[in-house]
Chain A
């Protein structure tokens, strides 16, 4: 059981944006983890073309979506956290 050792600046995990931060970090890990994980577990899935005859692969689109997800998640976090602190 964590015991608070110092009276100053105790970490406060109960504020909503702290919980929100961990949730967002978990989602981001999941997205990036699936991108890396699919390459490791099933390379054939990631190197397959997105449609027959195309050169662009599933992995390329997956990488772009993973990058896009960083923008969406950060935007969402800032929006929600600003709302929490405004209250």
Chain B
């Protein structure tokens, strides 16, 4: 493993500075911090590799992560590069919309706290399927949950990979293809050698950097406006061509159903995301699970509150500065560059280098978490519990998860390359819709309703999953924006308001009608 790490560092030192020099306009601070982050994360992996020999270590860091540490890592999982870079860009282009997403994402995590986290920790070992399998027939529920997990993880991963490639090209001048290979190699390295221990610590390092950068930018923005938030907002309104109209969110300009569906998805989506749920298996007990979500909410909500300053700050400061705009008045390099330009305007090359490096660390941490979750679904749920049932040793299970990690890593690099020029914006919204319509309903019913049967769970989950995918394809994000049709067949994006109740209803009705697995002792005397 030492050799592979060396190979990655070589690949890095050979490509990064060379490419950067060719494209020019890049600062040494950015490259320095970029290399620094890679070295630190590889160091963490090297340290973690000596511990990640048991399945417990590999999937759940041996349950040894403290509540506080897990909370920081969880906040890191919730704040992707899209949140750091995309929201400020969205505020620059269409105003309040970015804040709608910030508020929506912030409300997601408390639901995980209130309804899911503790029971999950109590019942589960490594994966969400472990929890469902405690009370449903193991084979079908594991197959379904593993498939749903892989679908959510792959869509999320492709969106991150494509975003990563474009971003790294802009930030460091590294060619898209090399960026894909670099990100893929690093994430395989972290997960394969360091398992959950390395993935968690990479996430903690990134979250700490992210919060520091967020606070620094916010303070510098406020300082520019004499620490008067009203002056800042007034300037942002004056700069934007639509002026005061930006204070009305565009996302709510459609039908009421559309607005409610989006609201539901943002609020409930997080509670069904497998890579977020998997975090709760890394802490020693339910109390630590509770403590971890407390810290996670503090960090995550604190960060989303900072978006109110960073977003308007980006609009107010760089929105009126021709140096950061292209000929059409849009942000140079696209909306994702808004935060990066803002940091340059505020703190020159040093701050811009820091923010670029933080964005890179964010991408690495999020893709590593996703890969680990996908690999666990393959090796733990499919390989160890179903294919090798009773015969798979811990050793062979870990080998399977390492193979799955390499497989998923290579697949995501290939898909990242294949989707380079495609519009992948719908993939995150699709992952959230699938999460709301399949994993979340099953989890809530399994945790809180004694009447759920295996058939009911599978029927509800399949209907929700297929419905969410089909209606997203027929809806505005794919049918219109990708396939170029004039009008969508299904009008809502995301389709959660239809598919989530449908999943709950199907699971309920089928469970009630399914009389098969009732143990005699459980039939109430009244029947």
Interface residues of A (CB under 8 A from B): 1-11, 13, 17-18, 20-22, 24-25, 28-29, 31-33, 35-36, 39-40, 43, 46-47, 54-57, 59-60, 63-64, 66-68, 70-71, 73-75, 77-78, 81-82, 85
Which residues of A lie under 8 Å from residue B294 when comparing CB positions?
A: 74-75, 78
Q: How far is the CA of A59 from the CA of B233 in the complex (A)?
A: 13
Q: How far is the CA of A54 from the CA of B522 in the complex (A)?
A: 64
- A21 contacts B107, CB within 8 Å? no
Whole-angstrom distance between the Cβ of B250 and the nearest chain A Cβ: 11
Whole-angstrom distance between the Cβ of A37 and the nearest chain B Cβ: 9
Counting chain A CB atoms within 10 Å of each CB, the highest count among B107, B231, B267, B524 belongs to B107
Whole-angstrom distance between the Cβ of B118 and the nearest chain A Cβ: 7
Main secondary structure of the interface of B (DSSP, over half): helix
- B247 contacts A5, CB within 8 Å? no
Is B448 an interface residue, CB under 8 A from the partner? yes
Is B451 an interface residue, CB under 8 A from the partner? yes
Is B226 an interface residue, CB under 8 A from the partner? no
- A32 contacts B107, CB within 8 Å? yes
5 additional A-B residue pairs with CB within 8 Å, beyond A3-B451, A6-B517, A22-B115: A40-B252, A60-B99, A60-B247, A67-B102, A82-B287
Is B106 an interface residue, CB under 8 A from the partner? yes
Which residues of A lie under 8 Å from residue B103 when comparing CB positions?
A: 32, 35, 63, 66-67
Contacting residues of chain B (435-458) with chain A, CB-CB under 8 angstroms: 446-453
- B453 contacts A5, CB within 8 Å? yes
Which residues of A lie under 8 Å from residue B369 when comparing CB positions?
A: none
- A8 contacts B135, CB within 8 Å? yes
Is B293 an interface residue, CB under 8 A from the partner? yes
- B230 contacts A3, CB within 8 Å? no
Which of chain A's residues has its CB closest to B113's CB?
A: A74
Q: How far is the CA of A2 from the CA of B450 in the complex (A)?
A: 6
- B102 contacts A63, CB within 8 Å? yes
Q: How many B residues touch A, CB cutoff 8 Å?
A: 66
The 7 closest A-B pairs by CB, nearest first: A55-B234, A2-B451, A21-B114, A74-B297, A55-B233, A9-B134, A36-B263
Main secondary structure of the interface of A (DSSP, over half): helix
- A60 contacts B134, CB within 8 Å? no
Counting chain B CB atoms within 10 Å of each CB, the highest count among A4, A5, A36, A66 belongs to A5
- B305 contacts A25, CB within 8 Å? no
Q: How far is the CA of A28 from the CA of B301 in the complex (A)?
A: 14
Say whether, besides A5-B519, A46-B248, A10 and B301 are in contact (CB < 8 Å): no
12 A-B contacts (beta carbon < 8 Å):
A1-B524, A7-B522, A11-B448, A24-B113, A25-B114, A32-B103, A39-B100, A39-B249, A55-B231, A57-B247, A63-B99, A67-B102
Which residues of B lie under 8 Å from residue A75 when comparing CB positions?
A: 294, 298
- A32 contacts B263, CB within 8 Å? yes
Is B111 an interface residue, CB under 8 A from the partner? yes
Is B193 an interface residue, CB under 8 A from the partner? no
Whole-angstrom distance between the Cβ of A13 and the nearest chain B Cβ: 6
Whole-angstrom distance between the Cβ of B188 and the nearest chain A Cβ: 35
Q: How far is the CA of A85 from the CA of B19 in the complex (A)?
A: 57
Q: How far is the CA of A2 from the CA of B452 in the complex (A)?
A: 8
Contacting residues of chain B (132-180) with chain A, CB-CB under 8 angstroms: 134-136
- A4 contacts B109, CB within 8 Å? no
Q: How far is the CA of A70 from the CA of B233 in the complex (A)?
A: 24
Contacting residues of chain B (349-404) with chain A, CB-CB under 8 angstroms: none
Q: How far is the CA of A62 from the CA of B365 in the complex (A)?
A: 32
Which of chain A's residues has its CB closest to B303's CB?
A: A67
- B252 contacts A39, CB within 8 Å? yes
Is B27 an interface residue, CB under 8 A from the partner? no
Whole-angstrom distance between the Cβ of A61 and the nearest chain B Cβ: 10
Q: How far is the CA of A73 from the CA of B191 in the complex (A)?
A: 34
Is B244 an interface residue, CB under 8 A from the partner? yes
Q: How far is the CA of A50 from the CA of B130 in the complex (A)?
A: 50
Counting chain B CB atoms within 10 Å of each CB, the highest count among A40, A54, A56, A70 belongs to A70
- B290 contacts A56, CB within 8 Å? no
Q: How far is the CA of A28 from the CA of B118 in the complex (A)?
A: 18
Looking at the complex, which one of B100, B110, B518 makes contact with A74 (CB distance below 8 Å)? Answer: B110
Looking at the complex, which one of B135, B248, B519, B522 makes contact with A47 (CB distance below 8 Å)? Answer: B248
Say whether, besides A39-B252, A71-B297, A78-B293, A9 and B110 are in contact (CB < 8 Å): no
Q: How far is the CA of A35 from the CA of B229 in the complex (A)?
A: 21
Q: How far is the CA of A43 from the CA of B251 in the complex (A)?
A: 12
Which residues of B lie under 8 Å from residue A35 when comparing CB positions?
A: 103
- B247 contacts A28, CB within 8 Å? no
Q: How far is the CA of A77 from the CA of B247 in the complex (A)?
A: 33
- A25 contacts B115, CB within 8 Å? yes
- B522 contacts A5, CB within 8 Å? yes
Q: How far is the CA of A37 from the CA of B447 in the complex (A)?
A: 29
Q: How far is the CA of A22 from the CA of B110 in the complex (A)?
A: 11
